[in-house]
Amino acid sequence: MGIMNATDFAVELRSVRRTYRRGPEPVVGLDGVSVGFPFGTFTAVMGPSGSGKSTLLRSAAGLEAIDDGEVRVDGTVLGGLRDKELTVLRRERIGFVFQSFNLLPALTAAQNVALPAKLSGRRPAPAEVTAALAAVGLADRAGHRPGELSGGQQQRVAIARALITRPAVLLADEPTGALDTRSGREVLALLRGMADDPGRAVVMVTHDPVAAAYADRVLFLRDGRLDGSLERPTAEQVAARMTALEAHAPEAHPSKAHPSQAHASEASAC
Ligand SMILES: Nc1ncnc2c1ncn2[C@@H]1O[C@H](COP(=O)(O)OP(=O)(O)OP(=O)(O)O)[C@@H](O)[C@H]1O
């Protein structure tokens, strides 16, 4: 590998600022965040409730109207695109996986997986859909509807759907939040494997230190700013860091307490 340049990052945020102006007081979502997500890596994003994790993920996906700074996906500056171009780039270069799977209930697993490619005006070959399902271990469930699949299987279909366009980045918001420990672990192992593809980066928001320990790197956010990172962390190191961060969090949300102890399991739903 040569010297790192902009295109070595699947996604890069430069001095990104996002302020919400709904109520009387502006609320800071992101307060000048600069970070790059290199190809072939798996990054977890953690931080107390309200620290800006979802705002960061949504900004990386081009879903936030940022006030300042720049977001690049595979070298393309999102702010320079027309709406239509942004839609196409989002569809083809960015995969998104949600806590709640977001599959269409009336469609089979295969039809759900094929949908983004179809929306891009490309009818995927059945073999391509089968290969995507096989990559998540579900080749034999192609004809099942989401209601006929377990939560873990539904999330794996969602991952296959996110990957069929071969995106530069897979963004996952609490992908194991609704899963039991075992299914969560399967999904994390899949994401880990997906991140080893040199043409892709995986970025995952999680509250679970055990989930974060699957990543190459954990970024910590506090009050909309980056507040350190850990490389190849253990769950214990992540949990200790989260406990320290939450102790400093100005606004605690007791009703949304997040597990941050080393013994917290992947099953921790939020
Ligand atoms: N659409 C919005 N309108 C107004 N304020 C918002 C909006 N979205 C987020 N915020 C505020 O921006 C800040 C960051 O929110 P964000 O959702 O990014 O945090 P988070 O770290 O993902 O939190 P959680 O762990 O609770 O999901 C919070 O103070 C939040 O209240």
The residue whose C-alpha atom lies closest to atom 11 belonging to ligand 1 is 29
Q: 69-112 pLDDT, tens per residue?
A: 999 999 999 998 999 999 999 988 999 999 999 999 999 999 99
The pLDDT of residue 8 is 87
The residue whose C-alpha atom lies closest to atom 30 belonging to ligand 1 is 50
What gap in Å lies between CA 56 and CA 36, rounded to an integer?
12
Q: What is the pTM of this model?
A: 0.89
What are the C-alpha distances in Å from 97 to residues 44, 79, 85, 242, 263?
14, 23, 21, 24, 26
Cα(103) to centroid of ligand 1, in Å?
24
Which ipTM value was assigned to this complex?
0.97
What are the C-alpha distances in Å from 69 to residues 33, 54, 72, 164, 238?
9, 17, 10, 30, 29
Please check the confidence at residue 261 and state whether its pLDDT lies above 50: no
The residue whose C-alpha atom lies closest to atom 3 belonging to ligand 1 is 20
Can you tell me which atom of ligand 1 is nearest the CA of 18? 12
Domains recognised in the chain with CATH numbers: 39-51+82-219+226-256 (3.40.50.300)
Q: Say how many CA atoms lie within 13 Å of 153 toward its Cβ.
A: 18
Task: Please report which confidence band the pLDDT of residue 129 belongs to, taking 50, 70 and 90 as the band edges.
Answer: very high
DSSP letter, residue 114: H
Q: What is the mean pLDDT of residues 41-66?
A: 96
